[in-house]
Structure 1
Amino acid sequence: MKNTALTLIHENLGAKMVPFAGYNMPVQYEGVNAEHEIVRNGVGVFDVSHMGEFFLKGENALALIQKVTSNDASKLVNGKAQYSCLPNADGGIVDDLIVYKIEDNHYLLVVNASNIEKDWNWISSHNDLGVEMTNASEAYSLLAIQGPKAAQAMQSLTNIDLSNMGYYTFQIGDFAGKQNVIVSATGYTGSGGFEIYFKNEDAESIWNKVFEAGAAFGIKPIGLAARDTLRLEMGFCLYGNDINDSTSPLEAGLGWITKFDKTFTNSDQLLQQKEAGVARKLVGFEMIERGIPRHDYEICDAQGNVVGIVTSGTQSPSLGIAIGMGYVPSALAAVDSEIYIRIRNKDIKAKVVKMPLYKK
C-alpha cells in the first residue's frame, strides 16, 4: 500500500484510513455528513495526491492528445483546462481525465489513481509521434481546497487573483511560499474551489500554511467518503462505478465531451452509435419510498423486470433523501420516469430526475 506525502498528518489527525486505488487514504475524520456540509457551506481540504499526472511535450503533443481523447483539445488556450475521456477500441472508456494546456507544445494530463498504469500504457501505445512523455505521478502531491469560502480563505497565500479565476482555468505561480505551484479552478464537488499541484517535498509546509490561512474560515480536512457524496449530488461520474471499459461516453451522458469534428480512437463507431441512438442511458434518480440504493443494486420496471443497475447511490446529506445514478433503457430515461430499486428482495419506488441532483 502506497502512502501520500501527507499520510502521517492524516493519521495524527485521527482520520480513518482505508486502502483506495493502491494508496492508504483518509476516508473520514469527524463523519461524512459533517464533512459534506463543511464543503457545501464553507471550505474543506481533500488530499487527492493519489491522482496521476502526465506531462506531454513536443510539437506533436496536441496531435497525440487529439488522437487519444474524445474532446477537442485544439480549443484550449494557455491556462485553460478541459474535461475529457480516453475512449477504447471497443466502445468503452479507458478513463476520464482533465487536460491542461500549459503552453504551446506542453500539456498536463490528470488521470484517476486506479488507472495510472493503464492510462500510461494506453497513451504510450499510441505515441508514434515522438512526443516526450513524463509520468510525474509519484513526484506530485495534490490538494483539493473546495467550498464557497475557498477563494477568500486562500487569497493570503498567493498573488494569483483567486476570486476572478474562471472555472476550468489555471495559473502557475507562488502559493504558500512555494514557486511553480499549479493553481487550478477545478474540482469534483460542485461547491467551487481549487486544486493545488506541487512537489511532494513541499507537501507538509503547504498543508500547514493552508490550514493556518483557513483557520478563520473554519477550514477542515475532508475524507474521500464526503468527496463521493458531494460528487454524486452533482451527477459527476466516478470511474469504476458510473463509467468503465464497457460504458460508452454517449450512454454515460458525456456526449458534450465527445466531439466528432476530429478523428480519435473509435470515433467512427461512436458516431454510428450517436446517429442510431443509444439503447441505455445513465440517469440520476431519487427514492420516493424509503430505502438507500447502493452500487450494483438491480433497477427494475413496474412489472418487476430487471432493466439496469445502480452505479452509485447514497443518502444525500444536502437533500435529506436517498439518491443514485444508474443505467436504464432509453425508454425509461426521461425525467419523472418511474423505476424501482431492488433492495433486500423488495422493489422500492424511485423516479428519474434531472441532474445535477443537488441544485444550489
Structure 2
Amino acid sequence: MTGPSTTSPQEGQMSKPTALHDVHAEAGAHFTDFAGWRMPLRYRSELAEHHAVRTTAGLFDLSHMGEIEVTGTQAASFLDYAVVGDVGALAVTKARYTMICRPDGGILDDLIVYRLEDNRYMVVANAANSQVVLDALREREDGFDAVVHDSRDDWALIAIQGPVATAVLRSLTDVDLDALMYYAVAEGRVGGRPARLARTGYTGEDGFEIFCAPDDAVAIWTALCAAGGSLGVIPAGLACRDSLRLEAAMPLYGNELSEQLTPFEAGLGRVVRFDKAGDFVGRQALEAKAKVRVDHVRVGLRPGGRRTPRAGSPVLDPTSGDRVGWVTSGAPSPTLGHPIAMAYVGTSLAQPGTGLIVDVRGTAVEATVVDLPFYSRPR
C-alpha cells in the first residue's frame, strides 16, 4: 500500500468520497486526500486505534484500493507472463502476494492476486498505482485469450483486523471462517449482504478483507460496528494502518518499493519465481540481478533514545561519516514503546547488531540494525 498524504488535490480536482464517507464523518473522522480519494486518516486518536487492532480489532475503509479482474481461457498463463509470481499454480480460492515489474526489473507495484475460478482472477493493486497496473496489464495481454477488466468502481473494501476479528465476523457471515485459511478467499454473505471474504490484511494481525458492492458497504460496516462494539472494536484510519504495517515490516510502495528498486533489494526475492514455465516481463533483468550481490538491502533499525528517523533521513557509517543508506519509513512504535525505522543500507552493513548513525534533522542518532519484523503477533 502507498502511504497517506495530507496534501490537497490539484486545483480544479476533487477527491472522490468512498461509499462510507458520511458514516466516517458522523463518527468524527479527520480526512486526508490520498490518491484521488477522500479517506479517513484518524477518528479521535490514532494511538487508540493502533492499540485496538493489536488487542481487539479495528475497522478500516480500504475502498481506495484498485480491483482488476482477468478472465479467459488463458488468464493463468497471461498473469504468469505479466507478473513475477507463479499465480497460475494457485488453487481456486487461494491468493498470492506478488509484484508487477518493468522489463528492467523495477517494481511497478506489489499486488495480491486471487484465483476466483479456473479462468477468473482478481488483482488488487495499491490505490496510487491502480491505473499504472491496469495500463501495464492491458499492454501485456496481446496474444493471450484473456481480458483485463477495470473493476475498481464495482467494489467497496472493508477490513476488520485484530485478535477478535474472527469472533465478530463469525456472527455475521455464512462463510466457514475456520476453513478459510490465510491468503484464501470465499464468496458468501456478511450482515445479510453478498460479499467476497478474504483472509488477508496489512497490519500484522489476523483479520479479513471484505469486498462488497458500494451500495452494501454502509450496511456491512454498521453490522460490524454493532457486533464488535462490546468487544472494543473501533473504526481506524490510514494513520494507524501505517504504524501497524511498519511494526510488521510490511513494505510501502513509494517508500520501501519503487521503480528504481527490484524485489531483491527489498528482501523479497522469494516472490520472483524463476521456476515457473515460460517467460515473464522482467525475467532477464531479474535473473541477472539474482546472480550478483545487490548494493543495498532493506533492514530494520532500532534508534537509541526518543528521536524518530523519518523517510529520507540519511544513514551514515559511524567511523567514516560517509552516507551508506537512507531511511524509508520511521515512527514511534506504540506496541514496542520506542522508535523504529526501515532503511536501505549497504549490503556489508546489513547484519543485525551493526551500529550505524542516522541524521535526524541535523542530529546524529545512534541506531542498531535489527531483524525484521519488529513485531509478530502471538500464534
TM-score range, shorter chain: over 0.9
Deviation by residue 1:16-63 (Cα, 9 ceiling, x = unmatched): 101111111101112121110000010110000000000100011111
Kindly provide the amino acid, as one letter, of the partner of residue 280 in structure 2: F
Say whether the 8 Å CA contact 1:152–1:163 is kept in structure 2: no
Aligned to 1:313: 330
Aligned with residue 333 of structure 1, among 337, 350, 353? 350
1:265 is displaced (CA, Å) by 1.2
Paired positions, count: 359
Aligned with residue 30 of structure 2, among 8, 13, 16? 16
Kindly provide the amino acid, as one letter, of the partner of residue 153 in structure 1: V
Once residues 216 and 222 of structure 1 are traced to their aligned partners in structure 2, the CA distance between those partners, rounded to angstroms, is 16
Aligned with residue 153 of structure 1, among 168, 184, 198? 168
Say whether the 8 Å CA contact 1:189–1:230 is kept in structure 2: yes
Aligned to 2:128: 114
Once residues 203 and 221 of structure 1 are traced to their aligned partners in structure 2, the CA distance between those partners, rounded to angstroms, is 14
1:236 is displaced (CA, Å) by 0.2
Q: Secondary structure at the match of 1:242?
A: coil
Give the ranges of 4+ consecutive aligned residues of structure 1 lying more than 2 Å apart after TM superposition. none
In the alignment, structure 1 residue 256 sits paired with structure 2 residue 270: yes
Aligned to 2:39: 25
1:94 is displaced (CA, Å) by 0.5
1:299 is displaced (CA, Å) by 0.9
State TM-score, norm by structure 1: 0.98
Aligned to 2:341: 324
Kindly provide the amino acid, as one letter, of the partner of residue 305 in structure 1: D
State TM-score, norm by structure 2: 0.93
1:359 is displaced (CA, Å) by 3.1
Q: Secondary structure at the match of 1:284?
A: strand
Say whether the 8 Å CA contact 2:313–2:361 is kept in structure 1: no
Say whether the 8 Å CA contact 1:3–1:25 is kept in structure 2: yes
Say whether the 8 Å CA contact 1:90–1:246 is kept in structure 2: no
Kindly provide the amino acid, as one letter, of the partner of residue 254 in structure 1: L
Q: Which runs of 5+ in 2 are unaligned?
A: 1-14
Once residues 201 and 323 of structure 1 are traced to their aligned partners in structure 2, the CA distance between those partners, rounded to angstroms, is 40
Aligned to 1:140: 155
Q: Which runs of 5+ in 1 are unaligned?
A: none
1:1-360 aligned within 5 A? 1-128=15-142, 129-179=144-194, 181-262=195-276, 263-302=279-318, 303-360=320-377
1:117 is displaced (CA, Å) by 0.9
CA RMSD of the aligned region, Å? 1.1
Once residues 164 and 338 of structure 1 are traced to their aligned partners in structure 2, the CA distance between those partners, rounded to angstroms, is 45
Say whether the 8 Å CA contact 2:137–2:148 is kept in structure 1: no
Once residues 301 and 22 of structure 1 are traced to their aligned partners in structure 2, the CA distance between those partners, rounded to angstroms, is 40
Q: Secondary structure at the match of 2:17?
A: coil
Greater Cα offset, 138-147 or 258-267: 258-267
1:210 is displaced (CA, Å) by 1.2
Kindly provide the amino acid, as one letter, of the partner of residue 200 in structure 1: P
Q: Secondary structure at the match of 1:86?
A: strand
Once residues 158 and 146 of structure 2 are traced to their aligned partners in structure 1, the CA distance between those partners, rounded to angstroms, is 28
1:164 is displaced (CA, Å) by 4.0
1:130 is displaced (CA, Å) by 3.4
1:270 is displaced (CA, Å) by 0.9
Q: Secondary structure at the match of 1:339?
A: strand
Q: Secondary structure at the match of 2:327?
A: strand
Deviation by residue 1:154-202 (Cα, 9 ceiling, x = unmatched): 11111212244211011111111012x1110000011111000001011
Aligned to 2:11: none
Kindly provide the amino acid, as one letter, of the partner of residue 373 in structure 2: P
1:289 is displaced (CA, Å) by 3.4
